[in-house]
Amino acid sequence: MLAAEVSNEVQGALELTSGFFLENLWLAALIPAIGFALILFFGKKMPNGGSEFGLASMAASLVVTSGAAWQWLARVDSGKEKGEEAFGLLQTFGRSVPRAAEGGEVKPYIEPVITEWVWWQNSGLEFGIGSFADGLSVLLLWLVAFISLLVQIFSLDYVRGDRRYTQFFAALTLFSSGMLVMVMAGNMVQLILGWEIMGLCSFMLIGHWWEDKYNSHSALKAFFTVRVGDIGLLVGTAVIYFASADWIAENLPGQSGFDITAIQAWALSGDSSASGAAIIVGASALFIACIGKSGQFPLHTWLPDAMAGPTPVSSLLHSSTMVVAGVFLVSRIYPVFWEAFNIANGGLSFIAVIGAITIVAAALLAFVQDDIKKVLAYSTVSQLGYMMLGLGTGAWLPAVFHVFTHAFFKCCLFLCAGSISHSGSHHSFDMKKDMGGLRKHMPVTFGAWIVSSLALTGMIPFAGFWSKDEIVDNVGNNGYTFLMWVGLFGALLTAMYMTRATYLTFFGEPRGAAAGIHHDDDHGFATEFHETILHAEDIDRELVTAGAPAKSLSAAAAHSEDHHDDDGHDDHHGDHGDHGPHESGKLITVPIVILAFLALTSGFANPTPLVHPFGVAGESVERIKTYVEPRAVPVDIEVVGGVSHADDHGDDHGDDHSEEALAPASVDQLSLVGNGVLAADAEGEDGKKEGCGFTTPAEGSVCFFPAVSHAVPTYGKIALALIIVLVGYALAGAFCVAYYGRKDERLVGLTERNAVARGGYLFLKNKYYLDILYERFIVRFVAHPLSKAAYWVNQNVLDGTVNKVGETSKNTGTWIYNNIDQKVVDGAVNGSGTVASETGHGLQSTQSGKVNQYGALIFGAAAVGAIVLVILNVN
Amino acid sequence: MNNLTDSNWVLSLGTFLPLLGAVVIMFFTSKDDDQTPKVIGIVTAAATLAVGVYTLIQFDYDQADRLQFFVDAEWIEVISSGYTIGLDGISLPLYFLSMVVTLLVMIYTWDNMPDAGNPKAFYSLMLILQTGMAGSFIAQDLILFFVFFEVVLLPMYFMIGVWGGEQRKYASLKFFLYTMFGSAFMLVAFLALFFQAGDAAGGVESFGFAHLYEFGALIDRDVQVWIFAGMFLGFAVKVPMFPFHTWLPDAHTQAPTQGSVILAAILLKLGTYGFVRIALPMLPKGAEAWAPVIGILAVIGIIYGALGCLAQTDMKRLIAFSSVAHMGYVMLGISTLTEFGINAALYGMVAHGLITGMLFFVAGSVKHRYHTLEIKRLSGMLLQMPKMGWILGFAAMASLGLPGLAGFWGEFPAILSAYNPNEALSEELFRVLMVVAAVGTVLAAAYLLWLYQRTAFGEPGDEFKGQSEVEQGKHEGLAHSLSSAANDHGDHEVIKDVQRTEWIAWTPFLIAIVVFGVYPQLMFQVLDPAVTALVETINAGIKLP
C-alpha cells in the first residue's frame, strides 16, 4: 500500500557509504510507536504492567539509532577518504581551491540519507513522511533513545505500585516515539506531527495524577501555553512554504517548501524571495513557536509548573529532550534564521535577545525556589537560553553540543532529585522543609549530584565546561561582546543557585523528612493552585522555615505515623516501610551513575580547548564538529535535485565560470560529484567573509548551511570563565553557611529592613508577575467576560433577530388572515396570503400543517424568485 | 466531459435501497413490534453499505477527476431536468461516509432508543434520511439535487420534533424554517442560473451540472454576483456560517443523539458540498466577488464559535458551538478558491463528521447515564467510566486538530492555504485571516481541554459518587452493586462504562479518525485530482473577459 519511494541517493564518484540503519532509521520511531500500541492494548495483562514493551522498544530503538550513528561516522569518513580523490580543481564562488594534496582542505558536503513515502498530496504535489539522517538528527536520535531507555529503567522502581503504571509507560513510550519522529523529520509537516505528539504526551504526563486539581491545571497550562506558541509554527510553516515555492519549483523540482533541505537551500540561495519581508515574518513566527516549546521568556511559565508530573517525566520531557525541540527546530532550518536575522553580519537577532533575557531571568528565579525540582526547572529554562543565545549569534556548533551535554547532566540532576524524594525526603521536594544533610545517607546520589552540578556550572573538565564556555566564547568571537558578558553573568548565577540548592539538600542539619519527621503538608504545591500574589507581610513566614532545625517542626511529627496519604503523589509505593532517609535501590542508582559518568565525560566529544590553547590534541578530537556540523559548501543542484534538467544547468555552469576551461569534461563530472569545498571558515584576502551564507552560491549550485565561524579559545578567556564560576561557588557557599547555617543576623530579616531587597524578593517570588498577568488578566478575560459577551450577542442579537422575524411574520400572517383574507378577499385563496398565514399557523402549532407549510414556503419562494428573475433579466 | 458509465446501476441502488427498506418497515411491520423494524433497518443499512463498499472497489482511482457510474436519463422533460447522477473524487468520501454513519447510528440505536420510543417510525425516518443524503452527493442536476437536499429536511425535522429534548418543538421548527428560508433563496438562484445560462448557451437550457459549468461562467459578472448571493444564503444557513448559525445549537442540543450525530456528520456537509460542487464552479466570478465575504465570515465563525464554546455550561451545546468554529475552517479553505484550500475543506468535512459525530455519541451516552450534561455536575468521569473518559479525551484531542488524527488534515492545510489565495483575491486580507484562524486553534484547545478537565479529571461530585460500576468493583457481582445502589442512592441506576453496542458503533469512528490522521494520502489521493479539475474550471471562469 505504501509505495516505497526510497530517495534516489546520488552518490556518484563521491561514493559516500550508507547502511541499513541509516536507510531504515524510521524503525527507531516506529518501534516505540508499536510499543505504545502494545502497552495500550495488552499492557494491563502483562506481568509488569506493560513496562516490558516500553523498555524493549526503547532498547530496540537504541540499537537502531546506535547503528545509524556508527554508519553516519563511516559515511562522513568515506567522504574524507574518497572525496578528495574525486576532485581535480574544485570550484566555488568562481575561484578554484587547491586540493588537499596541495595544501587545501577538502571537505565535501555529506548528503543526508533520506527515506520517504508519500504521505499526503495537495494541488498535485506529493509530500512525504520518512526518515532524514544527517549529523544533527543522528546525534539527537541516539540521545533521545538513550535517555528514554535510562529513564524508563529508573521509572520501573520509581513509579512501582502507581495506580496508572501502565498508562505511565504508554505515555512515556509514545513520547519517545513522537520525539524521534520529530528529530528524523525531513519536512516541516512531519516535524509538526512529532512536535504536537510530544505536546500531547506532556499533557498526559504532567496531569498523570489528575485527581488533584493542581496537576490537571498544570497540564492544561503547559499544553495551552505551548499551543499559543504553536500559532507561530503554523503561520511560519505556511509563510516559508509559499515564500519558497517558486524558487524551489524552479531549482529543485520534485521538492516542496516543506522539505528541510529545500528550505535550507532556498534560504541561502540569495534569491530575492529569501531576503524580503516574508522570510523575516516566517522566521519570527517559527521562533515564537520555539519560545513556547523551549520555555523561553516570556512563555517559560509553563515549565516550572510542569514539575507537577512524576519526576521521570520532568527528567525526560521537561529538561533533557522535549524542551530542546525549539532549539532543534532553529538548528534544523538554521539558514532561514541566519538569513532572516542577518546573523552573518552580526545582526542583533530576536533569538539572541530572547536567549540572553531568558538566561538571566530564569537564573534569578531559581534563587527563590524552595522546591528542588523547580530550581532545576528554572535552571533548564536558563540553559535553554544559552542554546538560543548561541544559535542567535551564529554559534551553531556549541549550541547543538550543549543540547547534547545538557541532556546528560540535567537528566541526572532530576533523577537525583527523584532519588532524594523517593528514599530521602519521603516524597517531598521541599528543600527547606524536608532536606538537609542527606550526603551521609545517600552517598551515590550525592556523588552523582555533585558531578552533574559541576557539569552544569561549567567547571573544568566536566561536560558543561566544554559546551557552555564554547557558546560564551563564540558569542564574543562573533562580535556580540555585551551578550558574552550576559552569558558570563549567567554562569555566575548558575554557580550560585546550584551551590544554594546543593547546600540546602545535602549539607546543614537534616530537617523534616530528612530527619525522619513526616508531615502531611509535604507537597508544597498542592495548595498553590491559584496564582496568588505574595505580599510583603508574607515574607516572614516564607523565610522562617528555611533555617528551621528539625526540632521546631517536631509538632508536625505527630502526623507522621498515619501519613500514608493515598493520593499517589509521586513515587508512592505500598511496601515503603522504612521512613528514614536511605540510598535508593539499584534500578534508580544505576541510571543515575551512568548519567553522572556521561556528565563527566561527554564534553570530550568536542573538547575544542584541548586543540587550542592547550594543544594536547589534534583537530580530530572535535568530533561533533567533524561529524555533526553540516559542511558549508555549495553543491551542484543536479546532485541533490535529481536528474531533471541537468543539461540546462550544466550549460549555465560552463558559461559562468572561466575555470571551466581547465577541464571541459568536468562539467559532467562535477554534476555527479558535487562541489566539495574549502574549510568552513572562509575568509577572503580582503578580510571579508566568503562562503555559504555570506555570498550567493554560483548559478546551478546551492548551499545547505552557512559558513559559521568558530572561536579559538584562549587561556585568558578560559581562566576568566573558571574564576567566575569559582567566585560563584564561594559567594553562594559563604551566604548559605551564614544564612541557613548560622543564621547570621545581618542577613536574616534583610528583606524586612531593606525596601530594595524586599521589592526584589517579591518581584522574583511572584515570578515577575507573568503568571498573574496571563491567568488573572488574559485567560480570565477571554474565558469569562469576552466569551460571555460573545454568547450574549449570540442569544440576544443574532438569535433575537431570528426569533423576532419569526414572531413578526407570525403576527403579520395572523393579521393578514384576519383582516385581508377573511374580510376583504373573503374566502378566495390568495397565493401570498396563504403563504403568510400558513407560516403563522406553523409557528402556532407544530403538529399540524407541516406539509402545507412546506408547500407554501416553496410556493412563496417561487414567487419571490419570479420577481428576482424579472429584475435580473432586465439587467 | 468524458464520463464513465460502467456498472452505472450501483449509485441508484445505493441511494434508493434505504427507501425500499423504509417502505418495508412502514407497511410490513406492526407498531407493537419493537425488534423487527430495528432488524430490517440495520439489515437495509448494512446492505446499502455493502453496495457502498462495492462502489468503493469499483471506483477507478486513477480517474478520480471524472464522473463515474454516470447515468443521464430523462426525468422531467418539461423543465429540462434529467436524472443525472455520477460520482467523482469529491463526492465519493462523503457518499460513503453517509452510508457508514447511518449504519452505525442504527446499531447504536439498538440499545439506546430515545425515550419517545416507536422504533418503527424512527428507523424508517433514518432510512429516508439516508436516501436524501446519498442522493445529494450523487446528483448531477440542479433540480435533482434540490429535491434530495429538501428530502433530508423532513426526517430530521421529525427526529428532533418527536424524539428530542424538552424544547424540541421550538428547536425543530426553527431548524425547519431557517433551512427553508435559505432554500427558498437557493431555489430562486437555481432558476435564475438556469435561465441565464440558457441565454448564454444560445437557448440550450438544462439543469445538468456539466452544462452549467460550461455556460454559467459566461453570465455577466453582476448577474453572477446576484445569483451567487441566493445560493450563498441557502448553503450558508446549512453549513451553518456565522451569522446564520443560531438554529444549530438549539437543533443539536434538543435533537436525540442519533439526530445530532447525523446532523453533524453529514447534514452540515450538504452546505459546504453545495458551495464546492455548485456555487463555485458554476458562478466563478460570483465566487470571486463573494470569496472575501465568505472568508471573513468564516474566520469570525472560528473565533466566535470558540468564544461561544467557552461560555457554555452544557456539554452538548458546547460541542454544537464547536461545529460553528470547525465549519469556519472548512469555509476558509473554500473561500481561498485554491486547490490547497478546497482539498483541505473536503478533508475537513469528513474529519469533522467523524470527530464531532464521535463527540455527540459520547455526549449522548453521558446523558443516558447521568441524565444531565451540565458540565458543573459532571466530574471525575475517568474514575467512574475510564473507557468513556479516554474516548472523550481522544475525540477532544482529535477535535482540537492534533496531528496524527484526522482533524489536523482539515485544519492545517486550510490555514496554510489562506496565505496564498487565488490570484484574483486580496493576499493581504487572506493573510490576516490566516493569522486569526491560527489563533482559533488555541481557543479550540482551550475550550476542549477545559471541558475535559472539568468533566473527566478530578473526583466525581457527591451527587454521583459511588454509583459507577467501576467504583463498586467489577468482581463483586451484580447483586452487590444493585443492593448497594439501592441502599445508598435509592432509585439511581448503576453508571456503566462503554457497552457492547456502543463499542460496535464507535470503533469504526475511532479507527477512521486514527487511520485518516496517520495516512491522509488515503483520502487526498481521491480528492486531489477532482479538486484540481474543479479549480481549473473556476480559474478559467474567473479569467473569462
Residue A645 pLDDT exceeds 70: no
* Per-residue pLDDT, A535: 63
Higher-pLDDT residue of A859, A732: A732
pLDDT band at A411 (very low <50, low <70, confident <90, very high): very high
* Per-residue pLDDT, A682: 42
Closest Cα in chain A, distance from residue B380 (Å): 8
* Per-residue pLDDT, A570: 45
- What's the DSSP call for residue A308? G
A234–B441: do the CB atoms touch at under 8 Å? yes
Q: C-alpha cell of A469?
A: 564556555
- What chain B residue is nearest to A787 in terms of C-alpha separation? B307
For residue B451, give the nearest of B321, B323, B318, B357 by alpha carbon. Answer: B318
In this predicted structure, which of A693-702, A857-866, B428-437 has the lowest mean pLDDT?
A857-866
For residue A528, count CB atoms less than 10 angstroms from its CB and return exposed for 0-12, middle for 13-18, buried for 19 or more. Answer: middle
Chain B residues in contact with A239 (beta carbon < 8 A): 419
Phi-psi map region of B84: left, alpha, beta (phi>0 left; psi -120 to 50 alpha)? beta
Cα–Cα distance for residue pair A196/A181, rounded to 1 Å: 11
Residues A774 and A653 both lie in one domain: no
Residue A562 pLDDT exceeds 80: no
Cα–Cα distance for residue pair A77/A126, rounded to 1 Å: 34
Q: Does the beta carbon of B141 lie under 8 angstroms from any beta carbon of chain A?
A: no
A875–B339: do the CB atoms touch at under 8 Å? no
Residue A816 half-sphere exposure toward CB, CA atoms < 13 A? 19
Substitution target in A44, A119, A122 with the highest count of B β-carbons within 10 Å is A122
* Per-residue pLDDT, A11: 36
How many domains is chain B built from? 1
Q: Does residue B445 fall inside a structural domain?
A: yes
Alpha carbon distances (Å) from B72 to B187, B211, B377 = 22, 12, 56
**Residues linked to residue A131 through DSSP beta bridges, in sequence order:** A115
For residue A117, count CB atoms less than 10 angstroms from its CB and return exposed for 0-12, middle for 13-18, buried for 19 or more. Answer: middle
pLDDT band at A57 (very low <50, low <70, confident <90, very high): very high
* Per-residue pLDDT, A577: 46
Q: C-alpha cell of A578?
A: 522504612
B4 near B72, Cβ under 8 Å? no
In this predicted structure, which of A88-97, A463-472, A781-790, B340-349 has the lowest mean pLDDT?
A88-97
Residue A90 pLDDT exceeds 70: no
- What chain A residue is nearest to B519 in terms of C-alpha separation? A119
Residue in this structure with the C-alpha cell 507561530, named with its chain if needed = A232
For residue B188, give the nearest of A871, A306, A124, A597 by alpha carbon. Answer: A871
Residue in this structure with the C-alpha cell 456498472, named with its chain if needed = B7
**Residues linked to residue A129 through DSSP beta bridges, in sequence order:** A117
* Per-residue pLDDT, A869: 55
Residue in this structure with the C-alpha cell 446564520, named with its chain if needed = B244
Amino acid symbol at A611: V
* Per-residue pLDDT, A534: 64
Cα–Cα distance for residue pair A150/A407, rounded to 1 Å: 12
A234–B438: do the CB atoms touch at under 8 Å? yes
A791–B311: do the CB atoms touch at under 8 Å? yes
Residue in this structure with the C-alpha cell 496564498, named with its chain if needed = B420
Instruction: Give alpha helix (H) positions in B32-164.
Output: 35-58, 91-111, 119-138, 142-151, 153-163
Q: Of A154, A186, A218, which residue is a domain's last? A: A186
Instruction: Spell out the residues 6+ positions from residue A806 whose beta carbon is closer than 8 angstroms to its own.
Output: A843, B174, B177
* Per-residue pLDDT, A709: 86
Average pLDDT over residues B445-453: 90
Q: Does residue A853 fall inside a structural domain?
A: yes
What percentage of chain A carries pLDDT values higher than 70? 74
Q: Does residue B3 fall inside a structural domain?
A: no
Amino acid symbol at B306: A
Q: Does residue B182 fall inside a structural domain?
A: yes
Q: C-alpha cell of B190?
A: 437555481
Residue B485 pLDDT exceeds 70: no
Higher-pLDDT residue of A105, A384: A384
Instruction: Spell out the residues 6+ positions from residue B473 whose beta carbon is closer than 8 angstroms to its own.
Output: B480, B481
* Per-residue pLDDT, A433: 80
Using CB atoms and an 8 Å cut-off, which of residues 263-282 of chain B contact chain A?
A: none
For residue A595, give the nearest of A445, A466, A422, A377 by alpha carbon. Answer: A445
Q: Of A655, A687, A702, which residue is a domain's last? A: A702
Residue in this structure with the C-alpha cell 491559584, named with its chain if needed = A530
B143 near B84, Cβ under 8 Å? no
- What's the DSSP call for residue A371? B
For residue A673, give the nearest of A704, A631, A638, A626 by alpha carbon. Answer: A638
Q: Does residue A651 fall inside a structural domain?
A: yes
Phi-psi map region of B312: left, alpha, beta (phi>0 left; psi -120 to 50 alpha)? beta
Neighbours of A45 (CB within 10 A): 9
Q: Does residue B37 fall inside a structural domain?
A: yes
Higher-pLDDT residue of B385, A678: B385
* Per-residue pLDDT, B348: 94
Amino acid symbol at B475: H
* Per-residue pLDDT, A557: 39
Average pLDDT over residues B480-486: 46
Residues A677 and A817 both lie in one domain: no
A864–B184: do the CB atoms touch at under 8 Å? yes
Cα–Cα distance for residue pair A692/B271, rounded to 1 Å: 52
A787 near B307, Cβ under 8 Å? yes
Chain A residues in contact with B474 (beta carbon < 8 A): none
* Per-residue pLDDT, B231: 92
Cα–Cα distance for residue pair B19/B27, rounded to 1 Å: 12
Residue B195 half-sphere exposure toward CB, CA atoms < 13 A? 16
Residue B365 pLDDT exceeds 80: yes
Residue A95 pLDDT exceeds 50: no
B190 near A864, Cβ under 8 Å? no
B528–A213: do the CB atoms touch at under 8 Å? no
- What chain A residue is nearest to B451 in terms of C-alpha separation? A220
Amino acid symbol at A669: Q
Closest Cα in chain A, distance from residue B124 (Å): 18
What percentage of chain B carries pLDDT values higher than 90? 51
A861–B185: do the CB atoms touch at under 8 Å? yes
B434–A235: do the CB atoms touch at under 8 Å? yes
* Per-residue pLDDT, A158: 86
Cα–Cα distance for residue pair A582/A571, rounded to 1 Å: 15
Residue A304, helix vs strand vs coil = helix
- What's the DSSP call for residue B424? T
Residue A30 pLDDT exceeds 90: yes
- What chain A residue is nearest to B379 in terms of C-alpha separation? A211
Q: Does residue B4 fall inside a structural domain?
A: no
Average pLDDT over residues A474-491: 90
Cα–Cα distance for residue pair B69/A616, rounded to 1 Å: 79
A872–B227: do the CB atoms touch at under 8 Å? yes
Average pLDDT over residues B507-513: 94
The predicted complex's ipTM stands at 0.91
Residue A460 pLDDT exceeds 70: yes
Residue B424 pLDDT exceeds 50: yes
Amino acid symbol at B414: A
Chain B residues in contact with A223 (beta carbon < 8 A): 445, 449
* Per-residue pLDDT, B281: 92
Q: Does residue A47 fall inside a structural domain?
A: yes
A862–B434: do the CB atoms touch at under 8 Å? no
Q: C-alpha cell of A347?
A: 545582526
Substitution target in A221, A794, A850 with the highest count of B β-carbons within 10 Å is A794
Chains A, B: CB contacts within 8 A come to: 196
Q: Does residue B71 fall inside a structural domain?
A: yes
Residues A40 and A175 both lie in one domain: yes
- What's the DSSP call for residue B459? P
Higher-pLDDT residue of A547, B95: B95
* Per-residue pLDDT, A406: 93
In this predicted structure, which of A376-385, B179-188, B486-495 has the lowest mean pLDDT?
B486-495
CA A528 to chain centroid, in Å, comes to 27
Cα–Cα distance for residue pair A681/A35, rounded to 1 Å: 45
Per-residue pLDDT tens for B247-280?
Answer: 998 899 999 999 999 999 999 999 999 999 999 9
Domain with A24 in it: 1-87+107-186
Tell me which residue in B311, B339, B450 faces A122 most closely, judged by beta carbons: B339
Q: C-alpha cell of B96?
A: 460513503
| Diameter over CA atoms, chain A | 114
B220–A217: do the CB atoms touch at under 8 Å? no
Q: C-alpha cell of B89?
A: 473524487
Residues A781 and A693 both lie in one domain: no
Q: Of A165, A186, A207, which residue is a domain's last? A: A186
Tell me which residue in B173, B187, B457 faces A842 most closely, judged by beta carbons: B173
* Per-residue pLDDT, A380: 93
* Per-residue pLDDT, B342: 94
Per-residue pLDDT tens for A175-216?
Answer: 999 999 999 999 999 999 999 999 999 999 998 888 888 888
Residues A680 and A814 both lie in one domain: no
Using CB atoms and an 8 Å cut-off, which of residues 357-376 of chain B contact chain A?
A: none
The mean of the pLDDT values for chain A is 77
Q: Does the beta carbon of B192 lie under 8 angstroms from any beta carbon of chain A?
A: yes
A18 near A71, Cβ under 8 Å? yes
Amino acid symbol at B459: E
Residue A830 pLDDT exceeds 80: no
For residue A324, give the nearest of A600, A187, A139 by alpha carbon. Answer: A139
Cα–Cα distance for residue pair B34/A834, rounded to 1 Å: 40
DSSP count for chain A of H helices, then E strands: 36, 7
Chain B residues in contact with A872 (beta carbon < 8 A): 192, 196, 223, 226-227
* Per-residue pLDDT, A367: 87
Q: Does residue B123 fall inside a structural domain?
A: yes
Sheet containing A125-133: order of strands: A4-6, A113-122, A125-133
Per-residue pLDDT tens for A255-266?
Answer: 888 999 999 989
B188–A238: do the CB atoms touch at under 8 Å? no
Residue A685 pLDDT exceeds 70: no
In this predicted structure, which of A422-426, B187-191, B346-350, B501-505 has the lowest mean pLDDT?
A422-426
Residues A685 and A833 both lie in one domain: no
Average pLDDT over residues A406-424: 89
Closest Cα in chain B, distance from residue A28 (Å): 17
Residues A21 and A129 both lie in one domain: yes
A400 near A472, Cβ under 8 Å? no
Instruction: Spell out the residues 6+ positions from residue A820 whose beta carbon is closer than 8 angstroms to its own.
Output: A830, A833
* Per-residue pLDDT, A607: 87
Neighbours of B374 (CB within 10 A): 11
Chain A residues in contact with B433 (beta carbon < 8 A): none
Cα–Cα distance for residue pair A766/A243, rounded to 1 Å: 42
Residues A148 and A21 both lie in one domain: yes
Cα–Cα distance for residue pair B461/B478, rounded to 1 Å: 23
Residue B111 pLDDT exceeds 70: yes
Closest Cα in chain B, distance from residue A216 (Å): 7
A869–B525: do the CB atoms touch at under 8 Å? no
Residues A51 and A166 both lie in one domain: yes
For every residue of B211-238, DSSP letters joined together read HHHHHHTTS-HHHHHHHHHHHHHHHHHH
- What chain A residue is nearest to B401 in terms of C-alpha separation? A196
A522 near A565, Cβ under 8 Å? no
pLDDT band at A668 (very low <50, low <70, confident <90, very high): very low
Q: Does the beta carbon of B403 lie under 8 angstroms from any beta carbon of chain A?
A: yes
Substitution target in B159, B180, B450 with the highest count of A β-carbons within 10 Å is B180
Residue A844 pLDDT exceeds 60: no
Chain A residues in contact with B227 (beta carbon < 8 A): 872
Closest Cα in chain B, distance from residue A414 (Å): 27
How many domains is chain A built from? 3
Domain with B462 in it: 9-487+494-543
Cα–Cα distance for residue pair A143/A184, rounded to 1 Å: 12
B311–A790: do the CB atoms touch at under 8 Å? yes
Residue B431 pLDDT exceeds 50: yes
Q: Does residue B318 fall inside a structural domain?
A: yes
B222–A875: do the CB atoms touch at under 8 Å? yes
Q: Does residue A497 fall inside a structural domain?
A: no
Chain A residues in contact with B442 (beta carbon < 8 A): 224, 227-228, 230-231
Cα–Cα distance for residue pair B205/B141, rounded to 1 Å: 12
